[in-house]
Chains A and B, each alone.
Chain A
Amino acid sequence: MSATPLSYLDSAGARADTILPLTWFTIAVSVIVCVVIAILLWIAVARGTSSHDVDIRRVPVDRSGNGLRWINIGLAISAVPLLVTLVWTMVALAHAAGPPSNPALTIDVTPHQWWWGVRYNGKQPSDIFDTANEIHIPTGVPVLVRLHGADVIHSFWVPKLTGKTDAIPGQINLSWMQATAPGRYSGECTEYCGAQHAHMGLEVVAESPADFEHWRAGQLEAAPAATSASLQHGQQVVEYRCGLCHQVRGTRAGAQSGPDLTHLMSRRTLAAGVLPNNAGTVAAWIQTAQELKPGTLMPDQFLTSQELLDVQAYLETLK
């Protein structure tokens, strides 16, 4: 991970690559304009000022010099970068608007208050699976992202790979991305969406096509069977408590209003980027979610210590 994971002053994929040079060009034009105007202003003030503490009523008034030349020349010079920017904008827009070739993969992303639902499509119903907050993509191919609005408006943004596209209820918006090299790329929700807008991160994991296929095959698996009494008890609690909102495929926990937990432990972070994901943070999250992410729709669970230990052990098997 870079020191500035959300910076868009560098890029790592085709779509962001198209935009970046134009961004730098407009920054350069802007800086040059500001510097030139600042210098002109400084000279203009310095050259005409006679002395300080002069009584303004003693300074004569007259109309000297042809000032209109300033406006004419100024506009003529300004027109050049403006026209270049206009044309470049249209070209970049045409390139960035849609993927260069048919997308190799289509992912349905549904942002919720305050996490990301991710569904992978396939040719067969059995190829379809859900995950959350972490999107895996193969490198070198364009990936289409269909954005669905579920509750309020959110915005999908992975700065190193793609600019923002809003997810709005009642319509399906399209975004796309293509990663050049394997890596982890941070994203954030960028449309204000309520109490925990600040904690709605996602991560795109780009990996070689082979690694991606391996990951995909793993994700298609159902949860492993509980092999001990303690794990069975854990699964039971998960089904009756967590299953009210979450899904663990292969068990009776089948609700879909929270993130899919079937392969919970395969993900790097918890609660849309709030915590690193390990057995300890999972336990903390279960018991004190409201303290860790005030306002989250996940309620504190008040499990007994035995229940918590068993749930923790069970969830650890969901790799």
Chain B
Amino acid sequence: MRAVDFRTPTVGLDSVEHEARLLRLWEGDSGLKGFFGTVDHKRIGIRYIVTAFAFLALGGIEALVMRWQLARPNNTFLTPDQYNQLFSTHGMTMIFLYAGPILSGFSNYVWPLLIGSRDMAFPRMNALSYWVYLAAGIFLYVGFLTGNGPNDGWFNYVPYASRDYNPGLNEDFYALGMVFLGISTTVGAANFVVTAFRTRAPGMSINRLPIMVWGTLTASVANLLVIPAVSLAFLLLWLDRQYGTHFFDTNAGGQPLLWQHLFWIFGHPWVYAIVLPAMGMVSDGLPVFCRRPLVGYSLVALATVATMIFGFGVWVHHMFATGLPTLGLSFFSGASIAIVFPSAVAVFAWLATIWLGRPVITTAFMFFSSMIILFVIGGVSGFMTASVPVDWQLTDTYFVVAHLHYVLIGINVFPVLGATYFWFPKMTGRMLDERLGRWNFWLTFIGFNLAFLPMHLTGLLGMPRRVYTYNSDMGWDTLNLITTIGSFVLALGILLFVVNVLKSLRAGAPATANPWDAPTLEWSVPSPPPPYNFAVIPTVASRHPLWESRLKEDTVVSSLDRGLLLDEGKETVGTTALDAAPDMILEMPEDTVAPLLLAAGLAIVFIGLLLKIWSVVIIGGLITGLAILSWMWPRRELREREATHA
């Protein structure tokens, strides 16, 4: 039983003295101690974003090297082994080290601001998930840079990944790195789920959540359910490789298809996990620039959840050619076709929002709105692969490569770039340059489509994926050259984005608190926000707290400058899961290096496992234990208080 403290929190108005008191409470340590010990979701979010963009750049450079090799037939720029490690590392980087973490970064930064909280539910776990992500990313890249990168594609089918065919350390780096990275994703997902259900501002009932919160929440629940499958798969693979177990070894009763099931039970929901939050960015961002609320909020929120529920029942569409019984295939085929419906809800909601609104063309709007057509192109090609007999022809050709790039670049990168233009002023207090932004957008858009639209035809003309070269008598020469040119134009567009960010950081126009006149809570606080986010915890009465006077949708109005003060400690409010009625005072932790220490301990454990040096594993385990001990050590000031219900 937990001792319960009661305290009735004060409700009051914001004031200068109040803000000064909060600043003293929330301002983290300065210097190196603050750098390594911070638990501020804003600093962690920006670290996530910067790290993920760095991995995007690395994955992009790998792609350019591959496109150089494929620009003409029978090219010998790369050896087969170099090419195979490059395409595997490119996939691993983009899917695991960029696409997921970049969305975690944005959600980390904006969630508490969107939902009127002073931080995530578990700030130290937040720091842990970042440090583990960084450590796992470095771990995986040490493999690549020492010539031991993954070489069996990102989905890593056995038996090619087994020791008989793959004797090097390549697959050990990948297997252990993925188990390691899974810790970060799991910790982060748990944090998002609790944050969404327990730390929303009073009055922000579940039907007032921004769609991006719905997206990340749905993705996080899915991650909690499916990450164990992939972590298990990689662990079994490592045991097969290093300890002679036979999970995937047919000679001893194992099954190669077990790998594919475990991987895709994770893999397909993961695809939705890396697009649903990004679709949420569009659902929240587009209406701002269309000057009207999103059409069909409830349907879009439900469609987000429905997509994921369907998403659990479609993994076998990656395995249509594996010889499974056709009755089973037809179920997964039907489910994969049906998943078009929730996606169509989002598309028509966005279209109607633009049609009925007064669109203001900004760079962010261009990225968000162009995403709609890229989403549709990626969607219809997915619908084609959902039909089993058609997929028997399409699968493992460049058609699928085109499809998945429309999904990942179209539905992840484009919204993320738009979201950067949208939220950069909030994060930095400076606007990104709109003129450079136009160049950035058009080069990215034209380059991307030039590279990947013709690639559908390359696939229909039969070019198999994952080939390091091809003959000139196959009819693919011109198409491949066009794709290579397009990919370099796309890279130029991304380069301009980086230039714009660096330039605007130093010399961008200063941003006001709400430069876009947007409706949600993050725009009610200064740009950049103070460490405590909200001086008083807002009380929310609608989905658009800052547009209420103009939309006249409720007789009750949100209260932004009068609310819970919570200035007697580092505190925020805990609310009930559905109605967001205030429930308890959450005591938030101070800066601490325990998460960093824990991540470092884990990294040492994984290095020890990789090299099979047990003394290193034990040292890493001891550091991990110490970090947990210092983390969990009871502290009186962290005891939660239940508010008396007045």
Interface residues of A (CB under 8 A from B): 1, 3-9, 16, 18-19, 22-23, 26-27, 29-30, 33-34, 37-38, 40-41, 43-45, 47-50, 52, 54, 56-57, 59-65, 67-71, 74-75, 78-79, 82, 85-86, 88-90, 92-94, 96-97, 113, 147, 149, 151-153, 155, 157, 159, 162-166, 168-171, 173-174, 188-198, 294-295
Contact = CB atoms under 8 A, between A and B. Distances in A.
Given A41-B351, A151-B165, A170-B255, A96 B389 contact: yes
Interface stretch (B94-102, B274-282, B292-300): B292-300
A85 B383 contact: yes
20 contacts: A4-B461, A4-B475, A26-B387, A29-B383, A30-B384, A37-B373, A41-B373, A49-B360, A56-B362, A60-B291, A60-B358, A61-B519, A64-B292, A75-B341, A93-B333, A149-B250, A163-B389, A169-B250, A191-B396, A198-B464
Contact of B387 (A22, A64, A65, A113): A22
Nearest to A70: B352
A4 to B, nearest CB: 4
A45 B354 contact: yes
B359 A70 contact: no
B5 interface: no
Contacts of B351: 37, 40-41, 44, 70, 74
A102 B642 CA distance: 75
A97 to B, nearest CB: 5
B35 interface: no
Contacts of B239: none
B547 to A, nearest CB: 5
B568 to A, nearest CB: 37
Contacts of B551: 61-63
Contact of B389 (A18, A71, A165): A18
Nearest to B326: A97
A198 B159 contact: no
Interface of B: 79-81, 84, 152-153, 157, 159-160, 165, 250, 254-257, 288-293, 295-296, 299, 321-323, 326, 329-330, 333-334, 337-338, 340-341, 344-345, 347-349, 351-362, 369, 372-373, 376-377, 380-381, 383-384, 387-397, 460-470, 473-475, 515-517, 519, 547, 550-551, 553
A11 to B, nearest CB: 9
A313 B436 CA distance: 69
Given A27-B384, A74-B348, A165 B390 contact: no
Given A65-B356, A82-B340, A163-B389, 11 more contacts: A5-B462, A19-B390, A41-B354, A57-B515, A68-B299, A82-B338, A88-B387, A89-B337, A90-B330, A163-B391, A192-B160
A38 B323 contact: no
A6 B464 CA distance: 9
A68 B299 CA distance: 9
Nearest to B388: A93
A311 to B, nearest CB: 27
B358 A50 contact: yes
A318 to B, nearest CB: 26
Given A153-B157, A191-B157, A62 B292 contact: yes
B161 to A, nearest CB: 9
Nearest to A147: B323
A48 B357 contact: yes
A222 B623 CA distance: 70
A168 B323 contact: yes
B470 A151 contact: no
Nearest to A37: B376
Contact of B291 (A4, A23, A59, A75): A59
A61 B157 CA distance: 53
A169 B372 contact: no
A82 B359 CA distance: 31
A192 B466 contact: yes
Contacts of A97: 326
Nearest to A52: B361
Contacts of B474: 4-6
A34 to B, nearest CB: 6
Contacts of B338: 82
Contact of B290 (A26, A48, A191): A48
B292 A61 contact: yes
A147 B473 CA distance: 28
A160 to B, nearest CB: 9
A49 to B, nearest CB: 5
A294 B79 contact: yes
Contact of A198 (B468, B475, B519): B468
Contacts of B470: 198
A165 B321 contact: yes
A78 B379 CA distance: 13
The 7 closest A-B pairs by CB, nearest first: A163-B392, A6-B462, A67-B295, A170-B250, A173-B323, A70-B352, A198-B467
B517 A74 contact: no
Contacts of A37: 347, 351, 372-373, 376
B162 to A, nearest CB: 8
A56 B289 contact: yes
B256 A169 contact: yes
Nearest to A193: B160
Contact of B358 (A33, A48, A70, A168): A48
Nearest to A49: B359
A164 B160 contact: no
B359 A48 contact: yes
B160 A152 contact: yes
A43 B359 CA distance: 11
Contact of A89 (B160, B349, B389, B464): B389
Contacts of B380: 29-30, 33-34
A10 B84 CA distance: 31
A190 B395 contact: yes
B426 to A, nearest CB: 15
A190 B467 CA distance: 9
B373 to A, nearest CB: 5
Contact of A74 (B347, B377, B387): B347
Nearest to B396: A190
B349 A67 contact: yes
Nearest to B376: A37
Contacts of B383: 26, 29-30, 82, 85
Contacts of A50: 358
B137 to A, nearest CB: 24
A63 B159 contact: no
Contacts of B84: 194-195
